[in-house]
Amino acid sequence: MKPAILEVHNVTKAFGGLIAVKDVSLTQYQGEILGLIGPNGAGKTTLFNVINGVYKPTSGEVIFEGQKISGLPPYEVVRRGLARTHQIVKPLNEMTVLENVTVGACFGPQNLPLEAAQEAAAEVIEFTGLGKYADVLAGKLNIALKKRLEVARALAAKPRLLLLDEVLAGLNPSEVAKMLDVIRAIRDQGISILMIEHIMQAIMSLSDRIVVLNFGEKLAEGSPDEVANDPQVIEAYLGDPEMAKRILEEEEA
């Protein structure tokens, strides 16, 4: 088996009395696309925030490439090769696409001088299909392009592990298809991907394995098939199993 790139050991994150993530452990192997699913409020984004250093875990630890990263600030985590996108995209609206991605490149491990950061950014912009928007102000982009910009900004930091938080949300089917191509191309570069997604059909087709959170706890883990057919998952994730079956059938149609 390939070595682990990410290990989450018994992570708990409490906000006062609310336990958003409860004793969650998971392992991601190098080169894998690992899907993270679960109902609204299950703790998915909070777990990302613990992994990339926005929050210190209340207990437990996070290991990246064999080294403990929990407790480090986000800029140090990204320097070590772990970048993430945000569920609520917040580009620097008054800056161009190129400038936004250049900022991402500046936070990478290499400490690039400005000119080299711009070159790296231009490459990532081409790779993510944003080439013709390079000089457009980020505030003028539609949601699909903003999401792609968010991916480009994270990618510009040259991560070995990329965390994607709902990059398909709010996209129409053709925009989803384009984003899926981008995600596959990232994986083909050897970058491991941990992704949160609500669009079942997309996450099922992309992921090598899936982890399910429910009320902050890990409910299930396995291949997309195993998870999709787990009655506990169907019930937790989609409520009424009969409804869930119909929804899944409709998505597949």
Ligand X SMILES: Nc1ncnc2c1ncn2[C@@H]1O[C@H](COP(=O)(O)OP(=O)(O)OP(=O)(O)O)[C@@H](O)[C@H]1O
- Nearest-angstrom CA–CA distance, 59 and 56: 8
> Rounded to the nearest 10 degrees, what angle do helices 231-238 and 241-252 cross at?
90
CB of 158 to ligand X, least distance (A): 26
Rounded to whole angstroms, the Cα distance separating 174 from 237 reads 26
In whole angstroms, what is the distance from residue 132 CA to residue 253 CA? 33
**Closer CB to ligand X, 19 or 103, in the complex:** 19
For the CB of residue 163, give the shortest distance to ligand X in the complex, in Å.
12
43 interface partner picked from ligand X, Mg ion, none, CB below 5 to 8 A per type:
ligand X
Quote the least distance from Cβ 20 to ligand X, whole Å: 3
| Interaction mask 36-55, ligand X, x per CB under 6 A | --x-xxxxxxx---------
Q: How far is the CB of 90 from Mg ion (least distance, A)?
A: 14
Tokens of 62: 């996070």
The kind and range of the H/E element at 60 are: strand 59-64
- Main-chain phi, psi angles of 23, to 5 degrees: 50, 50
Q: Which is nearer to ligand X, 127 or 215 (CB)?
A: 215
Q: Measured between alpha carbons, how far is 190 from 62 in angstroms, rounded to an integer?
A: 22
Provide, rounded to whole angstroms, the least separation between the CB of residue 54 and ligand X. Answer: 9
SS3 96: strand
Number of residues lying near ligand X (CB under 6 A): 12
Q: Which CB atom, from 101 or from 203, has the smaller least distance to Mg ion?
A: 203
Name which of 100 and 214 has its Cβ closer to ligand X: 214
- Between 40 and 189, name the residue whose CB sits nearer to Mg ion: 40
Q: How far apart are CA 249 and CA 238, in angstroms?
A: 13
User: 15 contacts which partner out of Mg ion, ligand X, none, CB within 5 to 8 A by kind?
Assistant: ligand X
Cβ atoms of 132 and 159 within 8 Å: the answer is no
Question: DSSP 3-state assignment of 131?
Answer: helix
Q: Which is nearer to Mg ion, 44 or 218 (CB)?
A: 44
Q: Which residues of this protein are in contact with Mg ion, per CB under 5 A?
A: 44-45, 87
85 binds ligand X (CB under 6 A): no
User: For binding to ligand X (CB under 6 A), which residues are involved?
Assistant: 15, 18, 20, 38, 40-46, 87
